[in-house]
Amino acid sequence: MVYANTGSHPPAEPPTLGDAVRLLARLGWHLARKGDAHPGPQALWIALQRLGDLTQMYALLAPPPRK
């Protein structure tokens, strides 16, 4: 499983739109190798479904916010 940010802190600058699309497509099993074309609709569709699953799991398992 590949995640965009493996550190405990977010990056200093947000990714560009193209980088964000490529990072999202990696969730849809797009390999993003040097010679690969841009991610297609199937890879992005799978990635969006997996992203939805990941956000639901985070909402269930994350500690409640402090007040």
Q: Residues 9-41: pLDDT tens digits? A: 888 898 899 989 998 999 998 988 899 999 999
- B/e letters for 8-40, b = 16+ CB within 10 Å, e = fewer, are eeeeeeeeeeeeebbbbbbbbebeeeeeeeebe
Overall number of domains in the chain: 1
Structural domain including 2 reads 1-67
Residue 2 has pLDDT above 80, yes or no: no
Instruction: Tell me, yes or no, if the pTM score tops 0.95.
Output: no
Q: State percent of the chain over pLDDT 70.
A: 91
